[in-house]
Amino acid sequence: MNWLKAKRLIRRKPYLLDPYRCRSAEEAQKILDEEGVLSPDALLSAARVRAGMSEAEWEAYTGISSEEMRRKIERLTPIRIGKVFSLSRRAAVALIIVVVFTLFMACTPIGRALAVAAYNAIVEVVDGILYIRTDEEADISRDEPTIESIEDAITYFDSVSDAVEQIDEPILCFQNDVAELVSMRKVISPVKGLVVESEYSLSDHINITIKQEWGNSHVGSIVTDDTKAHVRIVLPDGLIIDGVYANDDMSFVGVAVTGETIIHVCIMNIPSTDKIQEVLSLTEIR
């Protein structure tokens, strides 16, 4: 019989502690309430004394040496926490582990990060309903609202003429036979609206990209710093393009805002600002 069973038995039948059975159950319960249950060592010592045995005789009777009995009693002796309650050694060790783990998760950055990751792995909120799932249940389908992704509609054109026929907006492009059209496409985006992107190649490895937007935003911007020169280009039709030119990589980036259209222009391998004016003067709005 282990110590927990012995304690339960004594609490149910406190008169067993009276070797002469001369007390009533009420008296025995009162003594038990006042003095408590004896420790395992005291209880075994009382049993040995009542049996009238010496320590050697008791050791021979139980078949357990004194040293082994002492170790067993130490394991059985509960750890008292004040006068409120007591815990077995295993329960005390488990409680200490829980407290240390809780402090680690709550008071350290690594612990809090792990706690958040674990929470996000098992918890999901949909329409105000909190679902908690295990890894095994993660793939189980539920009737949940889904948000359908809206992809951009993209149309490619083989020539500027094809684009002009299909787009009901003015397009800034190069005059015929002036530059080679590399690519041209129309993008209808639910976010940006209508976007037309075209790339051209000129002699001397000059590459030009023109991007036009018709959307909700009517503000264009460029980034300037001390290493770039501000350049203003005025086209023959009156369109003004403001931009910056970098000598180190021979590049120009500019923007023009006209009506509801934002035009972005990027030119690579352009040797000078005068060349920028010369090249962009070859464009037209169709």
pLDDT in tens, 47-71: 777 777 877 777 777 777 777 777 7
The answer as to whether 148 is a domain residue is no
Q: Is 97 exposed, middle or buried (0-12, 13-18, 19+ CB in 10 A)?
A: exposed
Q: Give the pair of three-digit tokens for residue 202.
A: 């000129």
CB 263 within 8 A of CB 210: yes
Helix (H, G, I), strand (E, B) or coil at 88: coil
Q: Which residue type sits at 32?
A: L
The answer as to whether 221 is a domain residue is yes
Location of structure tokens 């339960």: 8
Determine the pLDDT at residue 207. Answer: 93
The answer as to whether 110 is a domain residue is no
The answer as to whether 210 is a domain residue is yes
Do strands 251-258 and 240-246 pair parallel, antiparallel, or not at all (unpaired)?
Answer: antiparallel
Are residues 48 and 157 both part of a single domain? Answer: no
The answer as to whether 232 is a domain residue is yes
Determine the pLDDT at residue 280. Answer: 92
- What percentage of the chain has pLDDT greater than the value 70? 64
Residues of the domain holding 42: 3-78
The answer as to whether 129 is a domain residue is no
Are residues 191 and 281 both part of a single domain? Answer: yes
Mean pLDDT, rounded, for 152-179 = 87
Are residues 252 and 169 both part of a single domain? Answer: yes
> Domain end: 78, 99, 117, which one?
78
Res 21 pLDDT > 60: no
Mean pLDDT, all residues of the chain: 76
Output the domain CATH number for residue 214.
Answer: 3.40.1000
Determine the pLDDT at residue 185. Answer: 93
> Domain end: 50, 78, 106, which one?
78
> Domain end: 78, 110, 135, which one?
78
The answer as to whether 125 is a domain residue is no
pTM of the model as a whole: 0.48
Res 199 pLDDT > 90: yes
Res 136 pLDDT > 60: no
Q: Which tops the pLDDT comparison, 51 or 34? A: 51
Nearest to 196 by CA among 219, 218, 169, 159: 169
Q: How many domains does the chain have?
A: 2
The answer as to whether 132 is a domain residue is no
Location of structure tokens 């295993």: 90
Local confidence band at 216 (pLDDT 50, 70, 90 cut-offs): low
